[in-house]
Amino acid sequence: MMANHNHRLLWLWITAALGGALQAASSCAAEQREEIVTMKRQIEALQKQMADVIQVNQEKQKRIETLEQQVKSLQQAPQAAKIDNVLDRALAKLGAPTEPGAKTTGPALTYGPSPAGSPAGTIRLADVSVDMLMAGGTSTANEDQLQDLQGGGHDPKKRGFTVSQTELSFAGAVDPYFNFESHMVATHDPITGATGLELEEAYATTTSMPFGLQMKAGHFLTEFGRINPTHPHAWTYLDQPIINTRLFGGDGLRNPGARVSWLAPAPWFSLLYLGVQNATGETAVSFIGNEAVGGRPVDERRVHHGGDLLYTARWENSVNLSDTLTTLFGFSGLHGPNNTGPGGETWIGGLDFMLKWRPPDTTSTGHFVTWRTELMGRNYIADRFENDAGVVPSGTVRDWGFYSQVEAGISRSWSAALRFDYATGTGPDYAVGEDNVARESRQLDPFRDTRWRISPLLNWRLSEFSRVRFQYNLDRAEHLRNVSGRDDPFAHSLWMGLEIMIGAHPAHKY
């Protein structure tokens, strides 16, 4: 009996153990099944997400291929140069990059097709900008005297307010071979109130000539010195130097023509210019201008051969003396006919120098120092003139002068400058009447007398697109002694100028 009892207990224990093991195994299998189901669900979700991504990428790829095909068809069409709204949208969607370092308001596009072996070029939407210069102030000289004292075409010329100019500029690439710029200026006469519109510049420059050569053709400012080739909004001062006004007129020397430049393979920056332009009109006062220098009578002159054109030569250089110090220097020369007769001719020469110090932290501190000087002179060889009133003998009239200015950055927004101007000459003026030819002193002539000017200036740059300038001029001019009602060669003037620009403007030389 005892043995049977023990056997039953053993079987009960084995049955319980097996039941527990089976229950544990069943519970473990259930947990594994739940994990497998969960993992399957996760895999299915990931597969769905991947399918969605693949579908989106396929749609994007098809869209890109469609847009690329549109661009290709537009490039190959005869009117490819006309960038219409369809191409603008296509380029914007493709996110086409612009030229490195280019200031442009629109996207860039590789222009094609190009001849084999020719360099790649770009077309970009034209840069467009509007720049306004105005000034307000007063002077001890009256408004009539200011017209001669402030002889520059964009100088402040009136007690009260003067709108010096409003310039509309366009610039852009034409094709792989040419860039184009156009600058039109609206003017307002502060005395009469008359408004006018003039073409300041419009020219094309080549982009792919070999051997460091470049051509320019059109209507452009003559590349003489550093002030004449630049626009008024690129000047430090509100007015142009006295000697520039005297030799090149109120609007600077500019005319239709062409020039070639050559970047020499030198260890420093060295650029040579040779140009030829028309020598006629109000923008060529030292040549066949509307009037003759020194009051001489005008003998109308036409262009018959190459000797009746204006020729320019300039050599400019730049050398880095150190990491923070740069010097620029140049030599300029002009030769052309004048309107005193067939034998009349004019020679003008100039030297310019610039030294600029820019420390490594200029961007954050605004600190810099720039010293700029230009010296220039004119030999005006006048032909003999004779009429019933008398004879004006031949002779050489000489005028020369210089300006020198220093500008220092005080902070990121403020800079201060000081400029000294001087101009003088030799040789008499003439007054030709109906019955008499009279020799006069050049000191009566506001554009040939001996004079100097001292001009301190404060420049407040609010941003890249706006600035305010405060300028004081102390003038001493001999012609002021001979103005009716005064015997004082001095004049004091105080001006405040505002410049506002919108858009992207092409860079100017400094």
Q: Is 431 helix (H, G, I), strand (E, B) or coil?
A: strand
Tokens of 129: 């900008």
pLDDT at 55: 63
Mean pLDDT, rounded, for 79-108: 42
Amino acid at 140: T
For the chain, the average pLDDT equals: 84
Q: What is the DSSP string of 436-489?
A: -EEEE-GGG-TTTS-EEEEEEEEEEEEETTEEEEEEEEEEEEGGGGGSTT----
Residue 257 predicted with pLDDT over 80: yes
pLDDT at 504: 84
Domain ranges for the chain, please list them.
1-95, 200-494
Cβ-based neighbour number of residue 380 at 10 Å: 26
Residue 276 predicted with pLDDT over 90: yes
pLDDT at 80: 42
Q: Do the beta carbons of residue 166 and residue 186 sit within 8 Å?
A: yes
pLDDT at 87: 45
Confidence of residue 487 (pLDDT cuts 50, 70, 90): confident
| Domain 200-494 -> CATH class | mainly beta
Amino acid at 415: S
pLDDT at 389: 84
Residue 407 predicted with pLDDT over 80: yes
Answer with the residue of higher pLDDT: 337 or 193.
Answer: 337
pLDDT tens-digit series, residues 196-242: 999 999 999 999 999 999 999 999 999 999 999 999 999 999 999 99
Buried-exposed string 74-94: b where 16+ CB fall within 10 A, e elsewhere? beeeeebeebeeebeebbeeb
pLDDT tens-digit series, residues 340-370: 999 999 999 999 999 999 999 998 999 999 9
pLDDT at 78: 47
Q: Is 21 helix (H, G, I), strand (E, B) or coil?
A: helix
pLDDT at 30: 54
CB neighbour list of residue 452: distance below 8 Å, 6 or more residues apart = 420, 421, 422, 423, 475, 476
Residue 147 predicted with pLDDT over 50: yes
Q: What is the DSSP string of 373-414?
A: EEEEEEEEEEPPEEETTEEE--EEEEEEEEEEEEEEE-SSSE
Residue 12 predicted with pLDDT over 70: no
Residue 143 predicted with pLDDT over 70: yes
Q: Tell me the whole-structure pTM to 2 decimals.
A: 0.76
Residue 402 predicted with pLDDT over 80: yes
Residue 62 predicted with pLDDT over 90: no
